[in-house]
């Protein structure tokens, strides 16, 4: 087994052990790209457990719609101009509100600090997701998958930023002082 797959499997094992994911019926997640910790093994394991896995579909205004993950063959690579290529689910679009049904939301990030604040890529897509969850009164577990070096002392914060409940790294899980 290659090193990348071993790391992806290790992340999946650690994340699957979280009570928030062990008992979840619906999980909003994402397909990792570039140097992000691999998520496919985790998505496959959740799907195999019978968990409804929602994956984002990027909209023109950087908001996110959602579709259901039905396995790796249910993904299509979508190129967004010169910016990036993402893997998105094929099939029915559920609308931006679908995320409010999730028991847990896996968020991508560049870093998380000691307060549990997440640094995203700057597009605001997940800030909108977090605001949507708050407006709906939804309280899913918020979890970020990162490498150990991406857990830092401090990230820049803005008034709208929300803390996550936990970060999963190769060395384990770190929880933050927010309910979960």
Domain-embedded: residue 64? yes
Q: How many helices (H) and strands (E) does the chain have?
A: 4, 12
* Domain that includes residue 42, residue range: 3-175
User: Can you give the CATH number for the domain in which 167 is found?
Assistant: 3.40.50.10420
pLDDT of residue 179: 45
Chain segment 36-94, per-residue pLDDT in tens: 999 999 999 999 999 999 999 999 999 999 999 999 899 999 988 776 789 999 999 99
Identify the CA nearest to 52 among candidates 103, 16, 123, 116.
Answer: 103
Domain-embedded: residue 180? no
Q: Which residues pair with 64 in a beta bridge?
A: 58
pLDDT of residue 48: 96
Chain segment 119-159, per-residue pLDDT in tens: 988 789 999 999 999 999 999 999 999 999 999 999 998 88
pLDDT of residue 51: 97
Domain-embedded: residue 9? yes
Q: Which residue has the tokens 């998380």?
A: 112
pLDDT of residue 180: 42
pLDDT of residue 76: 96
Q: Which token pair is 95?
A: 């609308």
pTM of the predicted protein model? 0.92
Cβ atoms of 147 and 128 within 8 Å: the answer is: no
Give the C-alpha separation, 163 to 125, whole Å.
Answer: 16
Alpha carbon of 91 to those of 56, 68, 77, 94, 157: distances in Å? 12, 8, 13, 9, 36
Give the C-alpha separation, 49 to 82, whole Å.
Answer: 37
Q: Which token pair is 17?
A: 């052990």
For residue 68, count other CB atoms closer than 10 A to its CB.
18
Provide the number of structural domains found in the chain. 1
């Amino acid at each position: 087994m290659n090193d990348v797959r071993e790391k992806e499997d290790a992340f999946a094992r650690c994340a699957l052990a979280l009570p928030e994911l062990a008992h979840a019926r619906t999980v909003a997640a994402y397909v990792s790209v570039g140097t992000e910790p691999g998520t496919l093994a985790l998505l496959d394991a959740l799907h195999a457990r019978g968990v409804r896995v929602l994956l984002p579909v990027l909209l023109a205004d950087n908001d996110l719609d959602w579709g259901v993950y039905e396995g790796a063959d249910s993904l299509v690579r979508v190129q967004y101009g010169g910016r990036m290529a993402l893997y998105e689910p094929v099939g029915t679009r559920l609308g931006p509100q679908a995320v409010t049904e999730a028991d847990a939301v896996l968020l991508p990030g560049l870093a998380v600090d000691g307060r549990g604040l997440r640094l995203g890529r700057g597009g605001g897509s997940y800030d909108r997701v977090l605001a949507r969850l708050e407006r709906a009164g939804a309280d899913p577990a918020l979890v970020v998958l990162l490498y150990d070096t991406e857990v830092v002392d401090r990230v820049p914060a803005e008034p709208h930023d929300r803390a996550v409940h936990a970060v999963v790294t190769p060395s384990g899980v770190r929880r933050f002082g927010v309910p979960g």
